Amino acid sequence: MQFKFNLSTPELVDLYVFNTWSAPWKKKSRQRIQFLIPLALALFATAFLLEQEYALGGFLLTIAILWLIFYDKIYTYRLKQYAKGFYNHEINERFWAETTYDFNPDHIRIINEYQESKLQWKSIINFIERENVFWLFQTLSSAIILPKRVMSDGEQEEFRNLLGRKFVK
């Protein structure tokens, strides 16, 4: 099974945000940030309210509540903006090279103007299928991105079967 394509900014940005924030292995640190900081703000607000500094206490309490509600969306937006800038930078033009991926039962072959490599399937530690893309992870922060836009429905099903034979989920 062979696919030849150029990656798009949204595909690279989604992978960056997933690895940096949304991935299951980031859950504990994400929860710590999301809950400990508003808890500290709420404690400060309580201290100010007890001292009858209602304006400052109410302001801190409002910030704590808004943090809990919107922090995930705001942080994800900031990460996306950063990643767009990174991937659009001229020095990173290698991300845009047209690449051919050849998936064989024994190995994966990757060819573009910057590299020609052959990966064994055992170098892929996991895969995730999202709405528009397959990610084949080599490490927790490095993945082969295979967009579904380059596959027909039959090829997607065939690729799922290949992944099913290689990985037990």
State the CB neighbour count (10 A cutoff) for residue 14.
20
Q: Where in the chain is the domain with CATH 2.30.29.30?
A: 2-7+97-166
According to DSSP H, which parts of the chain are helical?
A: 9-17, 27-50, 54-88, 153-166
| CA-atom Rg of the chain in angstroms | 22
Closest residue by Cα to residue 151 from 98, 101, 77, 111: 101
For 44, the token pair is 């400060």
Q: What is the pLDDT of residues 11-53, one digit of tens each?
A: 888 888 888 887 877 788 777 777 778 888 888 888 878 888 8
The predicted model gives 83-104 an average pLDDT of 81
Helix axes 54-88, 9-17, angle to 10 degrees: 130
With bands split at pLDDT 50, 70 and 90, how would you rate the model's confidence at 169?
low
pLDDT attached to residue 168: 66
Total Cβ atoms within 10 A of residue 51: 10
CATH of 2-7+97-166 given 1.10.3720.10, 3.40.228.10, 2.40.370.10, 2.30.29.30: 2.30.29.30
Q: Per-residue pLDDT tens for 112-155?
A: 888 899 999 989 988 989 889 999 998 887 888 999 999 999 99
Instruction: Please state, for a pLDDT cut of 90, what percent of the chain lies above it.
Output: 17
| CA pair distance 113, 97, nearest whole angstrom | 7
